[in-house]
Structure 1
Amino acid sequence: MRRWIGRRGRWTLASELVRRSLVVEHRLLEWMYRFRVSTSKLATLARTRSEAGMSTAEYAVGTIAACAFAGLLFKIVSSPDVRKMLSDLISRALKLAG
């Protein structure tokens, strides 16, 4: 602490800046430690917490949505206009390839 005191026992500008920077550094290190502790606690909590039933409900909703989309797609593709358009497209592609 002697290096911070000026010639006449007073604080100099440089010594005050050094002291304040050390205070700020100490506060930053303290916040970093708190952040690490809280994130590790959250990670531990997330690993140990059971989510039984959540995946089942999510799979059920996803399956219902996929079935609804498949039914809608089947209805669109099986319509006569779309069927004719797809057969024309395939026949044109086969003519170009062969």
Structure 2
Amino acid sequence: MKGRSIRALQARLTLLMVEEDGMSTVEYAIGTIAAAAFGAILYTVVTGDSIVTALTNIISRALNTNV
């Protein structure tokens, strides 16, 4: 009886160590944080003066009708 309960406990502990329940939640959380960080960096770059100036110049040249 004692040996069987020890084996059952070992089997249960092995299952607990192997189970991956909740891993997808952690993966989604890390992906969400990474996406938010990338978005913040992209926003900072796009709203910087050099990018705004470059886009303004491109649009001005495209709209310039002097041939």
| Equivalent pairs, count | 47
TM-score, normalised by the number of residues in structure 2: 0.58
The CA deviation string for residues 45-71 of structure 1, in whole angstroms up to 9 with x for no partner, is xxxxx6420110000000000000000
Larger gyration radius, structure 1 or structure 2: 1
CA gap 1:51/1:77 in 2 versus in 1, 3 angstroms: same
For 2:29, the aligned partner's letter is A
Select the residue among 35, 44, 65 that pairs with 1:75.
44
Which structure 2 segments of 5+ residues have no match?
A: 1-18
TM-score, normalised by the number of residues in structure 1: 0.41
Runs of 4+ in 1 over 3 A off after TM superposition: 93-96
For 1:63, the aligned partner's letter is T
Q: Percent sequence identity over matched residues?
A: 49
RMSD over aligned Cα atoms: 2.0
